[in-house]
Amino acid sequence: MKALVTGSAGQVGRALIAAAPSDATVVGFDRLGLDISDHAAIFRVVEAIRPDVIVNAAAYTAVDQAESEAALAMRVNGGAVGDLAAAARSVGARLVQISTDFVFDGMRSAPYPPDAEPAPLSVYGRSKLAGERAAGHAALIVRTAWVYSATGHNFAKTMLRLLRTRDDLQVVSDQVGTPCFAPGLARAIWQLAAAKAQGVTHFTDSGVASWYDFAVAIQEEALAAGMLQRAAGIVPVRTTDFPTRAARPAYSVLDKENTWAALGYKAPHWRVQLRHMLKELADG
């Protein structure tokens, strides 16, 4: 299998490169190598490589900034995916598009199944939904959420930095979802791609958490691992205490049962994966 991975410098892109099957030839492009907002560049690169699979890990992810850069967000997260889908068809490749829980409005109180009606609250969410639709029915669309890893910028690493430097932190407790360790997501994507899966599927780690729960777990696990020398006070607050330009879904737990069945295993609990990430950081 020959695969093209876009966004290879991001945390999901890096995880995809690291987790690639041993029998796969993987060519990764960061933004400097392939700006997916460049229509001509997409077709030029795809024609040159002629991959069997294209995994699109490139995205506009500045959720709040997207509110004032709607055209750019829609171009990168929506229009560019249509270009990738067309380029994939031109060489007989399959497209894997990575999407997000932000396509939902968070009004449910039970996990969102893949066929739940999307209702994004933000420009970012609308742009990612546009990307899903542009990918087409032949694509595999993997929705995920709260992604973190030992590389890149993410909530877990930010919390570790703040816990080392502050005595008290306030963390939102009324947004509920599930963290997802990027290496586990990457492994699942490769397995689903190899199985030639199509349509919308969901993948995160198992379990449920608020951002406050996640922050408390990060501190507890880091203390146990000797990565923090003392505990800070973590105070739960409401979303309304920290208004942001873009609205976030209050509840965005994704139903993964169909994915577990397709993979033949259930993802580990998010806290187990958090320990793996902290060990990776500690080992350097």
Write out the residue range of the structural domain in which residue 70 sits: 2-149+178-206+252-268
Residue 130 lies in a domain: yes
Domain count, the chain: 1
DSSP three-state, residue 258: helix
- 154 and 148 Cβ atoms separated by less than 8 Å: yes
Query: How far apart are the C-alpha atoms of 180 and 168, rounded to whole Å?
Result: 26
Residue 32 lies in a domain: yes
Residue 80 lies in a domain: yes
204 phi and psi angles, rounded to 5 deg: -145, 180
Residue 238 lies in a domain: no
Of the candidates 84, 128, 106, the one whose C-alpha atom is nearest the C-alpha of residue 177 is 106
Kindly state the DSSP code that residue 203 receives in the 8-state scheme: -
Catalytic residues: 124
Residue 16 lies in a domain: yes
Q: Which two tokens stand for residue 274?
A: 């958090």
Length of the chain: 284
What are the mean pLDDT values of the chain's consecutive 10-residue runs (284 residues total)? 95 96 94 93 96 97 96 96 97 98 96 98 98 96 97 94 95 97 98 96 98 98 94 96 94 97 97 96 86
Residue 139 lies in a domain: yes
Query: How far apart are the C-alpha atoms of 132 and 90, rounded to whole Å?
Result: 19
CATH number, domain with residue 135: 3.40.50.720
Residue 163 lies in a domain: no
Residue 164 lies in a domain: no
How many Cβ atoms from other residues are within 10 Å of residue 50's Cβ?
12
Question: What pLDDT is recorded for position 152?
Answer: 87
- 192 and 201 Cβ atoms separated by less than 8 Å: yes
